[in-house]
């Protein structure tokens, strides 16, 4: 029953630790999140340490991603939306992308997992996105922004509230499920067939990692878009 | 496996810290560099277009000037030709007039000389005739009346000639 155990909580360790009385934090997730942050910061700083008019090296690579995201942002949120949200969106994408891929590193020396294999992380990100939308909405339209909850009529309030909750929840669960499933399946495959097949799965997971980061970022843009469309 | 705990809050803080650090120290210079580059390219393209338009305008202006200069040159040459022709005509006319004047003068002079010569000859003829006739008819025809008769005859003869 090794496989059954593996697919259970036996092999994915979150290291829940009670840091204060009653405050439990998954330390494995935290370490990986910090590592992800460090990698993202390293890449971005390498690219911008000497940001130049004529780019080269890392700056080129990061700029390719940023240009790509800028294009998506302008398409979805308009010029103004891009100006307001660019740092958030870019950081979000880079964090999720790096975070998704970090769990696929060879388990040598350290136990690498994706921070995004923890529902706390993905839900945290989704909640952050929701609040970012509120903050941007209030900054742009004042408290009148919340009027859209009772549109087209106040009868829609429950429906709108449900949507407001379900959207981040689905975003969080989609990312969490994809990444956790990928990692569990990888471990299971290692047990079933130690060679070649897990490598194929890693290749596939790399694509899934990029794709899920993209989907999450894209949904974020779509969530922010109405804020900037309201005026036009 | 799916238990939500304080990690959620910690993760939100993590992300906000990362966002704050990157936004403050990284994205500003990078986005600025990218914007600068975009603006610079736009400016360069604009100024290239402007330069092209300027060059075209200048070219047109030069072509116009060239055409003007060519026309002016043609005009000058034409004018010079006209002047030369006029001068030529004038000189020829003047020469003709002068020549005619000279000719008329000469003719007049010749006529005068001729008249003078005729008068001289007449006087001489009268004198000689008178002398000859006088000598011939010395004895009979030396009164004033005779002399007058001879002069009349001589005139008659000379005029008939």
Whether residue A61 lies within 8 A of chain B, CB to CB, comes out as no
With a CB-CB cutoff of 8 Å, which residues 12-71 of chain B face chain A?
Answer: 12, 14-19, 21-23, 25-27, 29-34, 36-37, 40
Interface test with B, best of A91, A114, A175, A176 (most B CBs within 10 A): A91
Q: How far apart are CA B10 and CA A71, in angstroms?
A: 31
B2 to A59: CB separation less than 8 angstroms, yes or no? no
Mean pLDDT across A154-168 = 87
CA distance B151 to B129: 9
Segment A171-183 shows an average pLDDT of 90
Q: How confident is the model at residue B141 (pLDDT cuts 50, 70, 90)?
A: low
Mean pLDDT to the nearest integer, B25-39: 79
Q: Is the pLDDT of residue B42 over 70?
A: yes
Cβ-Cβ contacts under 8 Å, A220 against chain B: none
Chain B residues in contact with A45 by the CB 8 A cut-off are 25-26
Closest in B15, B18, B30 to A41, CB measured: B18
| Position with higher pLDDT, B97 vs A143 | B97
Minimum mean pLDDT range among A78-82, B126-130, B132-136 = B132-136
A119/B12 Cβ within 8 A: no
pTM of the model: 0.67
Does the pLDDT value for residue A121 go beyond 80? yes
* Contact with chain B for residue A51, Cβ under 8 A: yes
The residue ranges of every structural domain in chain A are 2-229
Model confidence over A201-210: pLDDT tens digits?
A: 889 999 999 9
State yes or no: pLDDT of A40 exceeds 80: yes
Q: Which of A30, A40, A119 sits opposite B4 (nearest CB)?
A: A119
Residue carrying the six token digits 């690219």: A47
Lowest mean pLDDT among A23-27, A141-145, B74-78, B135-139: B135-139
Chain B within 8 Å of A74 (Cβ-Cβ)? no
Per-residue pLDDT, averaged over A214-229, amounts to: 89
- pLDDT at residue A2 in the model: 44
Search chain A and give the residue with CA nearest B35: A53
What span, in angstroms and rounded, lies between the C-alpha atoms of A171 and A129?
Answer: 10
ipTM of the complex: 0.80
> Which of A8, A12, A29 lies closest to B7 in CB terms?
A29
What's the CA dihedral at A205, B19, B2, A218 to 10 degrees? -50
Cβ atoms of residues B36 and A55 within 8 Å: no
Question: Which DSSP category does B143 fall into?
Answer: S
**Statement: residue A59 has pLDDT above 70:** yes
Tell whether A58 lies on the interface with B, counting CB pairs under 8 A: no
| Cα-to-chain-centroid distance, residue B72 | 10
Provide the residue ranges of all domains of chain B, joining segments of one domain with +: 7-160
* pLDDT of A83 higher than 50: yes
List the single residue in A with minimal CA-CA distance to B7: A25
Q: Do B11 and A124 touch (CB under 8 A)?
A: yes
Answer whether A65's CB lies under 8 Å from A93's CB: yes
Q: Which residue of B has its CA nearest to A131?
A: B12
Share of residues in chain A with pLDDT > 70 (%): 91
Contact A119 B17 (CB under 8 A): no
Do residues A148 and A226 make contact, with C-beta atoms less than 8 angstroms apart? yes
Closest in A23, A33, A66 to B6, CB measured:
A23
Whether residue A90 lies within 8 A of chain B, CB to CB, comes out as: yes
């Amino acid at each position: 029953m090794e496989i059954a155990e593996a697919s259970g909580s036996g092999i994915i360790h979150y290291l829940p630790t009670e840091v204060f009385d009653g405050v439990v934090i998954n330390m494995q997730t935290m370490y990986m999140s910090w590592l992800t942050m460090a990698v993202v910061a390293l890449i971005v700083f390498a690219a911008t340490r000497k940001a130049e008019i004529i780019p080269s090296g890392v700056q080129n690579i990061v700029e390719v991603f940023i240009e790509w995201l800028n294009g998506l942002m302008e398409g979805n949120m308009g010029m103004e939306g891009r100006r307001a949200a660019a740092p958030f969106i870019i950081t979000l994408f880079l964090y999720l992308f790096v975070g998704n891929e970090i769990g696929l590193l060879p388990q040598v020396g350290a136990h690498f997992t994706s921070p995004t294999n923890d529902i706390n992380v993905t839900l945290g990100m989704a909640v952050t996105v929701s609040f970012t939308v509120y903050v941007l909405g209030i900054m742009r339209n004042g408290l009148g922004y919340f009027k859209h909850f009772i549109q087209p009529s106040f009868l829609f309030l429950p429906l709108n509230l449900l949507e407001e909750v379900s959207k981040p929840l689905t975003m969080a669960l989609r990312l969490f499920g994809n990444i956790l499933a990928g990692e569990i399946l990888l471990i299971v495959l290692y047990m079933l067939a130690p060679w070649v097949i897990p490598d194929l799965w890693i290749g596939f997971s790399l694509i899934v990692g990029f794709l899920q980061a993209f989907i999450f970022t894209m949904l974020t843009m779509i969530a922010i878009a109405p804020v900037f469309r309201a005026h036009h | 496996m799916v238990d939500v705990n304080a990690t959620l809050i910690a993760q939100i803080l993590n992300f906000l810290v990362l966002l704050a650090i990157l936004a403050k120290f990284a994205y500003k210079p990078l986005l600025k560099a990218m914007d600068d580059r975009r603006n610079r390219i736009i400016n360069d393209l604009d100024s290239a277009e402007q330069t092209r338009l300027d060059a075209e305008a200048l070219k047109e202006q030069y072509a116009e000037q060239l055409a003007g200069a060519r026309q002016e040159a043609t005009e000058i040459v034409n004018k010079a030709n006209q002047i030369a022709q006029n001068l030529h005509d004038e000189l020829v006319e003047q020469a003709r007039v002068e020549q005619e004047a000279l000719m008329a003068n000469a003719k007049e002079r010749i006529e005068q000389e001729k008249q003078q010569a005729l008068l001289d000859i007449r006087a001489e003829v009268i004198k000689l005739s008178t002398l000859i006739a006088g000598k011939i008819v010395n004895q009979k025809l030396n009164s004033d009346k005779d002399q007058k008769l001879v002069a009349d005859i001589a005139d008659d003869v000379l005029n008939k000639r």
